[in-house]
Structure 1
Amino acid sequence: MSETQPGRLVVLGEQECWDLLRSRPVGRIAWSGPHGVVVVPVNFAVDDGAVVLRTSPYSQLAREGTDREVGFEVDLVDVEAHSGWSVLVQGRCTRDRHASDAPTPWVTGPRTLGLRIEARAVSGRRLSPPHAERA
């Protein structure tokens, strides 16, 4: 049984981060609520330097996550190859009546409230698999 060699961590440029964000349909939005940090998976779209999504006007996200700083993370992991990438968007989450680019939510029920996360910072990292020539 051979041991897996560690991969190399590479910092991604901003454009590559946006391209990777566009490549995935689901991410996680995180905020600090009154009972601690909350992380919720959501489907989303990218719109002109922002992440847009829809939720119920009465959801925990609508009550606690709007009009505050949030984190939004998307990733892809290949467990077999020990590789993957992760992108983090940090910014203010606001209500957006014009979130026409927000995708139709995957869950049932009325998700009529559009939200927009204007990116204040975008960062990403890629874990490249170990090279075969390593011994």
Structure 2
Amino acid sequence: MPPNATGSGHKDPRISGLPHLGPRPATGQHGGVPEERPDEEVVPVQEYDAQPGRLVVLSEEECWELLRSRPVGRLAWSGADGVSVIPVNFAVADGAVLLRTTPYSLMARDCADREVAFEVDDIDEQRHGGWSVLVRGRCERERVASDGPRPWVTGPRVLGLRIAVGSVTGRRLLSSTAERA
């Protein structure tokens, strides 16, 4: 269950805002990228582990906070025309990602009642750091369109889509040019 939308993050001020380091798994099967192990506890990064260039795993709470911090993400799915990835504005409510589209769009046709991925990120090109949050879940048509999000594009976007979140994961790349304290 995601944290409250108005939550202030960590309760312990000593670790508020610190990146989190997950387990250091062996190289995975996906192009040499380590696979996440959701059954292992994510622990706060110790000061000696907060090295520039380190990739750290975000807690679920941090992932939800970061999702709410951006107005645009990327929706990905495999449909009739192959794999598609498009930028969309969105909202987060009740543990789901909410989208709006037209009933005749490719997104409406290919995504409804299917598994999709949704990604939001922020990249600092100058400092070589940033974060990424990935949501995986089932995209469903809303029987009654929710209030959010307000579409940026013109024209009626009357069809509400809801991604029922199955998993949310994230990673932060600590700036490689950050000054050490």
Deviation at residue 40 of structure 1 after TM alignment: 1.1
Q: Which has the higher strand share?
A: 1
Backbone CA RMSD of aligned residues: 1.6
Match of 2:71 among 25, 28, 32: 25
TM-score (norm 2): 0.68
Question: TM-score of the superposition, structure 1-length normalised?
Answer: 0.91
Q: 1:71 aligns with which of 117, 122, 139?
A: 117
Q: What is the Cα deviation at residue 6 of structure 1?
A: 6.0
Give the aligned partner of residue 94 of structure 1: 140
SS of the equivalent of 1:100 reads coil
What is the alpha-carbon distance in structure 2 between the residues aligned to residue 82 and residue 65 of structure 1? Answer: 34
Aligned residue for 2:126, secondary structure, equals: coil
Bigger mean CA deviation after superposition, 120-129 or 92-101 = 92-101
Q: Residue 62 of structure 1 corresponds to which residue in structure 2?
A: 108
CA contact under 8 A between 1:92 and 1:119: conserved in structure 2? yes
Provide the secondary structure at the position in 2 that maps to 1:54.
strand
Q: Which runs of 5+ in 1 are unaligned?
A: none
Aligned to 1:53: 99
Q: How many residue pairs are counted as aligned between the two chains? A: 130
What is the aligned partner in structure 2 of residue 113 from structure 1? Answer: 159
Structure 1 residue 97: Cα displacement:
2.8
> 2-side partners of 1:15 and 1:99: how far apart?
26
Match of 1:129 in 2: 175
Counterparts of 1:32-51 in structure 2, within 5 Å, are 32-51=78-97
Give the drift of 1:101: 3.4
Q: Whole-Å Cα distance in 1 between the matches of residues 78 and 167 of structure 2?
A: 18
Which structure ranks higher in relative contact order (CA pairs < 8 Å, sequence separation ≥ 6)?
A: 1
**Counterpart-to-counterpart distance in 2, 1:67 and 1:80:** 40
CA distance in 1, matches of 2:117, 2:65: 18
- The letter for the 1-side match of 2:65 is D
Q: For residues 61-107 of structure 1, what are the alpha-carbon distances to aligned partners after superposition, in whole Å with 9 as ceiling and x for unaligned?
A: 00111110000000000000101000000000000133423211000
Q: Which SS does the other structure have where 1:16 is aligned?
A: helix
Q: Which runs of 5+ in 2 are unaligned?
A: 1-50
Q: Is the 8 A contact 1:99 1:116 kept in 2?
A: no
Amino acid at match of 1:44: F
